[in-house]
Structure 1
Amino acid sequence: MSAALRISLIYLLLASAWIWLSDAFAHLLPIPAEWAADVQTLKGQLFVVLTGLLLFWLIRKEERRQRELRTELRQTRARLEHFVDVSPAVIYVFEVQDAHPRLRLSYLSANIERLTGFSATHFFQHPSTAADRLHPDDQARVRAHLRRAASEGTELSLQYRWLHRDGRYRWIEDRATLNRNPLTGKTELVGNWRDISQAKQDELLLQAAEERWRFAIDGSEIGLWDWNVPDNTVFFSTRWKTMLGHDESEIGNELSEWSSRIHPDDLPAVQADVQTLLNTPEAQYSNEHRVRCKNGNYIWILDRGKVVERNDRGEAVRVIGTHTDLSTLKQREAALDLHAGMFMNSLEGILICGPDQRIESVNNTFTDITGYTAEEAIGHPPSFLSSGRHDADFYRQMWQQITQTGRWQGEIWNRRKSGEVYIEWLTINVDHAPDGSVRHYYAIFSDISERKANEEKIRHISQHDTLTNLPNQSVLRDRLGLALAHAQRTQKPLAVLFMDLDRFKIINDSLGPTAADALLVEVAHRLTQTVRHQDTVSRQGGDEFTLLLPEVDAADAAHVAQKLLKCFADPFFVSGQQLVVTPSIGIAVYPADGHEVDTLLQASDMAMYRAKSDGGNTFRFHTADMHQRVSKTLRLENDLRKALRQGELLLHFQPQVSFTSGRVVGCEALVRWQHPESGLMPPAEFIPVAEDSGLIVPIGEWVLYTATRQCRDWQLAGLQDLVMAVNVSTVQFRQEDFAQTVKHALTAANLPPRFLEIEITESVMADNPERAIRTIRQLHDLGVQLSIDDFGTGYSSFSYLKRFKIHKLKIDQSFVRDLNTDSNSASISQAIISMAHSLELSVIAEGVETPEQAHWLATHQCDEAQGYLYARPLPADQFEAWLTSPTSTAAMLQPGR
């Protein structure tokens, strides 16, 4: 009933009641007749007022009720819209049009934007969006279902992929039914969309997991059983049955199908383990036993199980487990036991390494040979056995062959735990995996120390003299042949000494062969103690000995012969008697005396007979002139040693002149020898002998101490600015304590270091450049000046020169001599001057003998000069007198103008 009808009926009812009641009430009142009209009027007015109020109240109440209904309706609509908006399902309505059903979107809930990325307005403006964004593989199926649902009225239930606005497909579940709208009477397809992407993904993952599980169970070597304990029924997988040789249908699901197949000897242990599993919470069952197959044979299986479900009383309800066929494994174990027995009891040591080359297993013989137990060896690389006798190149070649061929075999020295070094015969093989990678390294070895020792004894006996244990003649000839080949390649000398004992036959006849043999043993001992380790001392038989001295020239051979004569000077004590024995020594030198083994041996033999014919207890060379030359050198060496002791050496001094000032700025100390018989000897005659004999070091120290002391004496005499230059030999400079020697000389003379100039040659860099540079720096730190003598004639390396703490370069006299006649000499000299000045070094020229040479040097800005043009080397007193001579000063100034 509408509000207007309801109000009208109420009004009609109340108005009628008022008229009837008011008229009845008016008749009951004693109202005069003349008031009747007024009463009617008043009654009408009251009617109007009362009915107006009544109408106002009714309308107001109805309005309030309508407002409440509208509010409730809005709340209900808002609640419904909220529910729809937060709902995962999107509600849609399509109107079905035409006989051939066409769908027109008439309603779409606002939460469509969350599902698709598009607003509801978009779908109304672009009706084809819903169909266009279907996955191509799903479009035909979705359209067919929509047509069927619209035409036949069947319920629509679909899952398909729809392209979200973000570019990714989402899985949609679409459910709809066909209805008739009660308000419009139109047929509508009403449904909802839900995003089931996560559920679909979970479903696909679960499906994949199930497929993998089924594939793993069906395709693996493991049989599965599932035991329902209360029913005593068991599910057996296909693999469980085929493992025993049965088809799918040949085995039922009774528990007896399992227990009756267990080997009778194994059944009690299996039943005990199963009872423990059923009665013990969290227990797991594992048992290896034999099971009967269809053909009656037994196979070994590993049976494992676990209770996965218990009832409220803790009783096992469900147990699942697996069968694993151990037949192949058992066969392998048997084979491994056999191989392990062979491995552990092999007479050869065996070790196995992994691909990381660390030991994984060793046998008992390994321990017997090396002394290391398995526990001590496993985990270590085999290199912990290394003896240290092989260099890195040996192991590099070994591993190169292993890598290339997969095998290496040979002799190798290793060290036992006790520290003893032994030799073994080692074979290494590589085990490769099918893909070519290394799986293991197998090493088999045997101790061949005893065999090698026996072989060495036999070889030693065949190559050595049984009495003296010296190499015999065949070994000497072999070594001499090798030494000659080396000497020919390197252009170095060698010497062969043939020695025979004087009057040995008398000793043998008088004292007997036993004493003679004892004497020969003592002689052999003294000979080996006298020579170097690289020399060979050989006994040729009887009392004859031959010595091979590689890289020894005639002079050195004479020194060795002298040492041998000296070692025979002391008597021999043999059989309680004191014997004095002297040798006769013959010397042959390659290449002067021959180029062949036999030629040199014969030459030394002949030289020995010359020594013996000259009375013995001496040595002789094969040729007389060589003997004469060597004898002269030896005499000179001996005289030089005596000269050092008796003070026969002296110094001469040659002035060094400055082209800039014309003054004498220094002098060079030059050693001379006042020989008692030969007179004054220049350095060229005795310095080479001093260098060969090692006397150059004490001579150089004498020069250094004498020169510094003389310089200090001149300073005290008034010559304040004179610098003393001392030429140092290469041998002396290479002494480790050379810088300390210079320091001590300066201290002893009380000479300031700046007045000493050490002259060195470029050759000091050739042997050990770093040590030479270190010594130069030490001298520089002392404050001593340094110059390079004979610059340009030797080891001219600018890479080292720039690292020197050098003050001066000296141009060699060979360049100065040809300055005015040879353009090359002039160019080299000019280059030396320019280079020195660019390095902030001064330059001095030696051997200046003519005014033209001095003029050229001065013109090209050479700083200093020395030579005969100014003065010859002079003794100290004459040098001091020359300095004060006015004619000498004029002579110095003239050439430089």
Structure 2
Amino acid sequence: MPAILIIDDSSTNRRIYSVLARRLQADVWVRTFENGQKALDWLSDNSADLIITDYKMPQMTGAELVAAVRALPRHRDVPIVVVTAYDDRNFRVASLEAGATDFLLSPVDHVEFLARARNLLKLRAQHLLIAEKAELLEINLNAKDLLLRESREALAQVIDTVPAFISAADLEGRCVLVNAQQAASIGRQPADLVGQPVEALLGEERALISRRLDQLVLRTSHALAPREEEVTTPAGEHRIYLTSKAPLHDGAGRITSILTTSIDITQRREAEKRLEYLASHDSLTGLPNRLMLRDHLRRELARGRRGDQNFALHFIDLDRFKAINDAHGHHRGDRLLQNVADSLTRLVGPSHTVARLGGDEFAVLQPDIDGPEDAERLARAILHMLTDEDAGPSAPRIGASIGITVAPLDGADPDELLRNSDQAMYLAKSLGGNTVRFFAADMAPRATQRAQMEGELRDALKRRDFVLYYQPLIDLRRNAVIGAEALLRWSHPQRGVLAPGAFLGLAEESGLIVPINEWVLREACRQGAQWRGAGLGPLRIAVNLSPIQFRRQQVGELVRDVLEDSGFPPDLLDLELTEGILIDYDETVTEQMHLLRSLGVSLSVDDFGTGYSSLNYIRNFPLHRLKIDRSFVKDLANDPRALAIVRTIIDLGHILNLQVVAEGVEEGAQLETLRAEGCDEVQGYYFSPPVPADVFARWLAQRDGERAVASAD
């Protein structure tokens, strides 16, 4: 059962190190002391396999404790790790001269603590085993000549089977023993090396260090604690060894040679480094993860306490990433996340820490700021970089919501800073996204409000609190109402009727958009069938489809079921699709589109011209209409570029035998321009705002009545 001693005047540190030490292996035994003298009193009657001590303690420093431990015969070679918060060479030299084995910088990295402690415990066990064999060797050397020869042969066989490099050099630095494994590493036989200077075995540089350490063993008459050394072999390979040295005595107790043992830990160190990397980095992007970010935040907070430096933490959440991921698939989403990671890293440079916290959340630790203005400048640069349309093809082109905390003002520990920047991010997202907000103390209620709103959305689905408003579609050639677009509204019990902008983003992020859109489709078809039965004529009903539905539902089968249940004619149902559904189409989307076409429904591209418009997808899908986005119609009268875009879309649609619909018509001048350019259909406030079903029916009846009177006159 390995025994580990922990000496630290801080009870918190003793508790943390104890917890870490017990994770090394199941049967480890841990004892703690608050000062060095108590530890020395205990060591006078007991043994330890590893000692971990703080450097700066009252009564006795870590270096003084190390020297005192080394003076105890049974503890001359026990591994000792000194923990210090002072990155000062003098402290390390003092500890080394006293006999320290290794160092850890405070605050201690938990993964590094476990890796180093585990190595030292394994080396301690190996050292005890070799010491036992060396003791057996000394006993055999004092036996009779025959027994001596037999013992040497037996011991040589044992040594040759040990998975380590084992050699011994006399007081002149000549090899008196080399095991087969070490001789083979340089392509020699053990017998050829006996009597040769250690330079023949180790090379000039390593031999110089080995001779100096041998002299240290001779001066102290004590074994040296194991040390790690990096070596380049004659073949050019980079290897890492744990090397220890111990004196060998003759029958009179005189030191006759120095035993050197080196264990190759290269693969183990590489595996540990890989495990450390995996534990602290995101596997998709290669960025530091939340665990490593916490460690960097902890270090920056400690540095700030010593030097009054401020730093900022940017919590970045990509806007509408979930919709993009569901619409285009996880491969596209993963590529986007990797592009965001690369772009952030290039933007901020190596002095900053860029981390992926999970999902579509990233963080940037910005050190050494003069004030909030520095943090806001960086955040604005991040937003610009993410949305820059002029960047290269691998640029992300996605909005983001950024919450910022400034330390130490907004938090005294990593978790508090992360929590507060998260709340600031949610405020930015609630304001429509693609913006920046700093943390303020009153933000906690806002995070609660967001969670409350999601719960209210779920309740609204159960209570059927959603309603559809309808905006008429006008055929410009006949000046007749040919249908209506169904537009979702939430009849909130406290806040009244809410437009989609107030809740649709949250519905997409939470996945509630799927059942909501299914309800919209069913209700629109039911209402259309009811109007048809009431004699209002063959009105076409346009319904928006979410990209998420194409990934989570069999849309074709859903539409078929809805049409059968409602009795609504398929040729009067127009499904409006976003360009995002079509741009990176795959076989699933293609199959669903052709199934919809086979049912007899028509398909339109909504907000055409605002996304990544491509002739390729227009040609490849069975479309019926293009809808010109309202942003182009708005500027039609005073912006020649908007007129040119509208004219191009109308011409393109007609060349491809597609009808063209303009939305957002609010003025007579816009209407006349669209009519002159050959636009087929329009909708907008010029004719009617979106209204409830009963109001739409009355409006339509009144319009038909007025037209009948006008015709009679």
Rg (Cα) greater in structure: 1
**Which band: TM-score by shorter chain?**
0.3 to 0.5
**Bigger RCO (CA 8 Å, 6+ sep):** 2
Structure 1-normalised TM-score? 0.34
Structure 2-normalised TM-score? 0.43
